[in-house]
Amino acid sequence: MPLSRQLGLSLLAVLILVFIGTLWINVNNTRDFVAQQLASHAQDTATSLGLSIAPYMAEADDLPVVETMMNAIFDRGFYQSMVLRDAKKHILLEKHNPNNVEDVPKWFREMLPLEPPESATDINDGWTMAGSLTVKSHPGFGYQQLWQNAVQAFWMILAVFITALLMLYALVKMITTPLLAVVKQADAISQQQFEQIKQIPRTPELKRIVTAVNRMSAQLAKLFTQLTNQAERYRNFAYQDPLTGVANRRAFELAFEQLLADSEQHSQGYLLLIRLTSLNEVNSEQGYQAGDEYVKLVSQELKNALKQPELNGVLYRVSGADFVVLLEDAAKQPCISFTQAIIAQLNAIEKSEYRLGTAHVGVGSFSFGDSRTDVLERADTALSGASVNSEKWQLAQQHDVQHSNTQWRTQLNAILQQNHADFVAQPIKNHKGDTLYAEWFARFSTGQAQGYLPMGQLVPASVRLNYAQKLDELLIASALAQLNDTPHVIGLNVSRLSLSQASFHQWLMNTLPQDGATCAKLVLEIPERALVNGTQDLVHFIGQLKSRGVRITVERFGAQLAAITHLRKIRPDYLKLDGRFVRNIHNEPDNQLFVQSLVNIAHGLNIQVIAEMVECDAEAQCLLDLFVDYLQGYHIGMPTDTSVSTSNVS
């Protein structure tokens, strides 16, 4: 029902109540007045008539005179009854009129009954009590007066009511536009879209309402910004090096441990340990301010080197003179090229006071399941070798078991030709054990009895060889083919590269089932980095998906705080916290504070929060205490084959 109609009907109901109430009060007041008049009239008659007949009460022969006097008054019709009694209460004379009322509806008399009281007076003969006279007024004349007054009041109040109704119509028409604007703004605020009403009405009351709502919207926008800034301050305080602005050692340990333990991604890549070999000499000979300038100069060069779009690398400062670069999903040759480029840039800024050189680099590989200590030891050993050779860098020697690009291309072509993928499912549950959805992880057979290809190497290879979109399309098509036979909601990962391609957007919209109920069983998980580097096309694409019933999860959330500013545009259904902040969170106050701030921001936007990689009960309980909505991990549920897995859907 339109707002104008609701408002009009509401005010109409109020006017009707006012109309009925006013009429009822008026008639009731008139009835009370008439009742008082009838009682007063009867009392006056009883008193005056009693005084008139008192001289004739002593003798019985005078009774006809008394009756004549009573008849003279009673026959006028204003009285319902007159009763004369002697001193012993014996009735001497009694007169009654029928209780008939003309020209007044029966329903009116029943709704507003008049019961005139009996008025009595004592008749005295000198000092002796001669008798008593009781008089009761007839209600007929009271009813007639009451009915006439009610009819007159009805028409008068009805005229006022109709006038008020016309004014109400004009009022509703006048205030509809600003009120609709206020309602629209209130709905936008509930969706955390803090818009302002630009057209301010001239009516003072409406102007105050609109101004107040605008003010509230501005305050809420300010509060959301403060929460975002607060989360960023928490993150900077706990995980950022104050001198260079890059991530600190704590952030490195969390991120690297998560990479090595992530059984979902099976990540692999290279770690570059970069040491400023002349820092101690600069600090000793020129002071710590010069040393700080030295550190900031190298840091800026390293950040510039990592701006290449094809690189998935993060820079950390792990000690006074040491930086670490984690190159995730990087092959050997691109890593070598990147290292040589870094050495060239650092050589270009070398100064005479850097007598031992600007920096040296040791490179070590890592993969899922490695120990952080072992990887750092390999990189440190390579760094020792780099410090004595002319190239200033060295790659740790390790047996390379990874496929070559040619082998991966052959393997990927075979997978695409096979046009089928197997999946395992891991549930995401709340504290009651109800499953939100099950995340599906793809697996491809090696063609041997030994098992499946490592997805941590397959996915980076697909990115390097431009197979990422084709692989995503294959996985989604295979999952959709099984969706109708699946009892629960499923979640699928989509790569950042596919999300940036308009051709993928068109393919997916054409491939999705037309049935909204089936689409509602699909959740797409998109990486947080896609929001940071996203465009308006991505926002539009996600809007199209949500309009079809597909739900959206932003995964690995928290690593890139810049993504928070895009949440109001994307409006995802769920945020999945980066596993680095979840691992051992019950022993990490900094992580607890940061996660709490992210949860507050998400809940402020009506977005539910998921924590992944939950491996023990202590972590699970800590996350629930921080109001995280859903949990995922080996402690919550092991991955099971989709052909046999079952889950309860919340």
**pLDDT band at residue 198, thresholds of 50, 70 and 90?**
confident
* DSSP helix/strand/coil, 584: coil
pLDDT of residue 648: 37
**pLDDT band at residue 450, thresholds of 50, 70 and 90?**
low
**pLDDT band at residue 649, thresholds of 50, 70 and 90?**
very low
The whole-angstrom separation of Cα 106 and Cα 143 is 10
The whole-angstrom separation of Cα 566 and Cα 543 is 13
- Pairing relation of β-strands 79-86 and 313-317? unpaired
pLDDT of residue 447: 65
Does the pLDDT of residue 363 top 90, yes or no?
A: yes
pLDDT of residue 449: 54
Q: From the centroid of its chain, how far is CA 202?
A: 33
Does the pLDDT of residue 561 top 80, yes or no?
A: no
The single-letter code of the amino acid at 40 is S
pLDDT of residue 191: 64
Return the percentage of the chain with pLDDT > 70, whole number: 90
The single-letter code of the amino acid at 59 is E
Does the pLDDT of residue 650 top 60, yes or no?
A: no
pLDDT of residue 203: 73
pLDDT of residue 213: 78
Dihedral over Cα of 286, 290, 292, 297: its sign: negative
Does the pLDDT of residue 82 top 80, yes or no?
A: yes
Q: Residues of 118-134 as b/e, b for ≥16 C-beta within 10 angstroms?
A: ebbbebeeeeeebbbbb
**pLDDT 10s digits, 134-148:** 888 877 777 777 777
What are φ and ψ of residue 264, in 5° steps? -75, -45
Q: What's the chain's average pLDDT?
A: 82
**Strand order of the sheet with strand 128-137?**
91-96, 79-86, 128-137, 118-125
Give which of 588, 640, 641, 634 is closest to 611, Cα–Cα. 634
- Pairing relation of β-strands 435-443 and 490-493? parallel
Is the separation of the CB atoms in 499 and 538 below 8 Å? yes
The single-letter code of the amino acid at 377 is E
Does the pLDDT of residue 223 top 90, yes or no?
A: no
**pLDDT 10s digits, 471-503:** 999 999 999 998 888 888 999 999 888 888 899
Q: Which helix or strand (DSSP H or E) is residue 482 part of?
A: helix 468-483
pLDDT of residue 563: 59
Dihedral over Cα of 45, 47, 50, 54: its sign: negative
Does the pLDDT of residue 643 top 90, yes or no?
A: no
* DSSP helix/strand/coil, 274: strand
**pLDDT 10s digits, 205-220:** 777 877 887 887 787 7
**pLDDT band at residue 400, thresholds of 50, 70 and 90?**
very low
pLDDT of residue 220: 74
Does the pLDDT of residue 594 top 70, yes or no?
A: yes
pLDDT of residue 608: 94
Does the pLDDT of residue 84 top 60, yes or no?
A: yes
Least confident among 203-217, 223-237, 626-640: 223-237
Q: What is the mean pLDDT of residues 260-284?
A: 84
Residue, of 264 and 598, whose pLDDT is higher: 598
**pLDDT band at residue 61, thresholds of 50, 70 and 90?**
confident
- Of these ranges, 121-125, 176-180, 265-269, 534-538, the one predicted with the greatest mean pLDDT is 121-125
**pLDDT 10s digits, 318-329:** 988 999 999 988
- Of these ranges, 163-172, 473-482, 533-542, 590-599, the one predicted with the greatest mean pLDDT is 473-482
Give which of 500, 487, 505, 510 is closest to 531, Cα–Cα. 500
pLDDT of residue 644: 43
Least confident among 3-17, 407-421, 438-452: 3-17
In the chain, what are the helix, strand and coil shares in percent, each to the nearest 5?
A: 55, 20, 30
**pLDDT band at residue 519, thresholds of 50, 70 and 90?**
very high
- Of these ranges, 8-17, 54-63, 331-340, the one predicted with the greatest mean pLDDT is 331-340
**pLDDT band at residue 645, thresholds of 50, 70 and 90?**
very low
The whole-angstrom separation of Cα 347 and Cα 66 is 141
Is the separation of the CB atoms in 212 and 206 below 8 Å? no
The whole-angstrom separation of Cα 473 and Cα 469 is 6
* DSSP helix/strand/coil, 197: coil
Does the pLDDT of residue 428 top 50, yes or no?
A: yes
Instruction: Sketch out the chain's domains with CATH numbers.
Output: 3-162 (3.30.450), 249-395 (3.30.70.270), 427-440+471-641 (3.20.20.450)
Count CA atoms closer than 13 A to 59's CA, side-chain side. 6
**pLDDT 10s digits, 291-349:** 999 999 999 999 999 888 777 889 999 988 999 999 988 888 889 999 999 999 998 88
pLDDT of residue 73: 81
